[in-house]
Structure 1
C-alpha cells in the first residue's frame, strides 16, 4: 500500500511543485487532477492538460515522477456523466476520453470519475440511463488498458434539494455499477455521514476496491436536531452546507483510521490510499492546505507500512 494525495486541493500549484513538495513531505503517490482549465466548479484543478497530450508531454511527466520517486496512482476527473444538459454531458464525455488517452500514454491504470445523476428524474430512470451511457466509456478505457473507478461520494450539492447527486453512494448501488464493469475508489467519509460503517464495507467488496481515498468527516459540527439528516431545507444558499457535518483531514473526524487501514491490509488491498483534502479548517490558503496534508500524513504514515 502507498500513501498519496489528490492534487485538486492545490489548484494554483504546478505539478512539478506539487511533486517536489509531496516527495519532500513523505508522500509516495499522487492522484492527479485533470479537469479542463475552463471548468465550472471552484475547486477544479488542471495539473495535466490531457486534451493536448503529445508523447513528449507523457515522457516529461514520467521523468518528473521518476525524479521524485513518486507513483502516479490515478487521473482524477470527477464529473456528472448523467448531466441533464446534453451539451454539458457531451463535453464531459469528451474530456473523460482525453483523460483515458493520457492515462494510457502514462501507463496509469485508473481514471476516477462519478456516475452522477440527472436530478430532474427518479433514481430508477437514472440507473437505466447509466446502463446505456457507461458501457461505451468502460469499453473505451478497457481497450486502452485503463479501468474506470467511481468514488462513492454522495455529491448532495448537485441536487437542488440536497439529495444524492451521484448514484454510487451505497453498497446496493455499488453492486449495480459493478455489473457495468466499474471499479471503486473507496472513501470512508461519505459512508460515515450517511450511517454506514465503512469498515464493514471493505471485506465484501475488496475485489473491486482498487484505489482508496482518505478523507475524514466531523459529525455534530452543526445542528442535526434542527435540520435533520437531510440538512438545511429553507435557507441553503451554499448547496454543500447541510448544517450538521463537515469534511476534515484524516485524524480530525470520526473515521477510525487504524481499523480502516488494518482491514484493508487484512483483505489484501495493495493500492494507493490517497488523501482528499476538503477540510474547511485547513483550507483557504495554500499554506493551510499544505499544513492539512501534513496533519493527514502524520495520522496515516504510522499505519501505512508501504
Structure 2
C-alpha cells in the first residue's frame, strides 16, 4: 500500500507545487483533481489534454517520484440536464489517465432527483455501459466513491446511488469498481470494516477521510439531518481527528489483499480556510496513517 492525497483541497495551488510539497512530507502518491474549467480543481486539464499538458504532468511525477493513483472528477453522471457533459468529461479523464499510465478515474454515479431509485438504476445502466467499455478499451477502471451526496437531492435524500453494499453489488455488475471511503458509512449506521470485507476484490482505490459525530445533534435533526440550513449532526475530519478506527481499516485492507493507494481526502472544516491550514491538516492525516501502512 501507498499513502497519497487528493489534490482537490488545494485548488489555488499548481500541481507541481502540491507534488513537491507532498513528496517532501512523505506522501507517495497523488489522486489528481481534473474538473473542467472554470472549476479551479483542475490540476490535470483533461478538457484540453494535449502533448504539452501530458509532458508537463509526466515531468512533475518523474521529478517527485510520486505515483498517480487516480484522476478525480466527482460529478453527477445522471443529472437531468448536465449529465451528457459530465459523461463526456469522464471519457476525457479516462483518455488522460491512459496516456499518463494511471489506473483509474474516480467519479460518482449521481442521481436524477425527478426519478425513482429504480428508474435511476435503469438510467445508470444505459449511461455507464458505454463509459465502462470506453475505460476498458483504454486499460483504465472507473471507480465510484460511496458518498451519499445528500446535497444533490432537494429533500436531502442520497444523491449518489452508491452509498450501501447493496448498491455496490449493482455497481460491480456493471463493471465498475469501488473507491472505498469509510467516513460515509459511519453516519449511515454501517460498520465500515464489516461492510468492506466481502468486497475487497472490488476495491480499486481507497479514500481516507474521518468523521466526527457531534454530541446530541441527532436528537434535534434525526438521522435525516436538518432542513433549516443549520449544521448537521456530523462533520468530516482529517484522519486522526474523528472516530474511525484506522488501525482496523488498514488491517482489514491488508488482510483482504488490497495493495493500492490510500488517498487522504481533506474536507475538514477545522483545518480549512487557507492553504497553510489545509497543509497542516494533511500532515496530521499523514502522521496518523503512515505508521499503520506496511512498507
TM-score range, shorter chain: over 0.9
Q: Which residue of 1 aligns with 2:269?
A: 280
Aligned Cα root-mean-square deviation (Å):
1.1
Q: Distance in 2 between matches of 1:219 and 1:112?
A: 27
Q: Distance in 2 between matches of 1:267 and 1:94?
A: 34
1:292 to 281, 285, 291: 281
Report SS of the residue matched to 2:105.
Answer: strand
| 1:82 aligned onto 2:75 | no
Q: Distance in 2 between matches of 1:297 and 1:55?
A: 33
Q: Which residue of 2 aligns with 1:245?
A: 234
Identify the range of structure 1 (165-174 vs 46-55) with the bigger mean alpha-carbon deviation. 46-55
Aligned residues: 295
- Equivalences for 1:77-226 in 2 at 5 Å? 77-85=73-81, 88-220=82-214, 223-226=217-220
Residues 173-206 of structure 1 deviation map (CA, whole Å, 9 limit, x = unaligned): 0001110000000000000110100011222000
| 1:263 aligned onto 2:259 | no
Report how far residue 84 of structure 1 moved: 1.4
Q: Distance in 1 between matches of 2:171 and 2:294?
A: 31
* Runs of 4+ that moved beyond 3 A: none
Report how far residue 35 of structure 1 moved: 0.1
Q: Distance in 2 between matches of 1:202 and 1:128?
A: 25
Can you give the 5+ residue segments of structure 2 that lack an aligned partner in the other structure? none
CA contact (8 A) 2:146 2:179 kept: yes
Q: Distance in 1 between matches of 2:278 and 2:216?
A: 23
Q: Which residue of 2 aligns with 1:45?
A: 41
Q: Distance in 2 between matches of 1:169 and 1:265?
A: 23
More helix by share: 2
Identify the range of structure 1 (69-78 vs 197-206) with the bigger mean alpha-carbon deviation. 197-206
- Equivalences for 1:57-76 in 2 at 5 Å? 57-76=53-72
Q: Which residue of 2 aligns with 1:21?
A: 21
Q: Distance in 2 between matches of 1:189 and 1:169?
A: 11
Q: Distance in 2 between matches of 1:60 and 1:38?
A: 20
Identify the range of structure 1 (61-70 vs 16-25) with the bigger mean alpha-carbon deviation. 61-70
Q: Distance in 2 between matches of 1:283 and 1:221?
A: 22
Report how far residue 51 of structure 1 moved: 1.4
Report SS of the residue matched to 2:46.
Answer: coil
Report how far residue 221 of structure 1 moved: 5.1
Q: Distance in 2 between matches of 1:285 and 1:157?
A: 24
Q: Distance in 2 between matches of 1:253 and 1:10?
A: 21
CA contact (8 A) 2:45 2:53 kept: no
Can you give the 5+ residue segments of structure 1 that lack an aligned partner in the other structure? none
CA contact (8 A) 1:222 1:245 kept: no
What TM-score, normalized to structure 2?
Answer: 0.98
Does the C-alpha gap of structure 1 residues 280 and 222 become closer, same or farther in structure 2, counting only changes over 3 Å?
farther
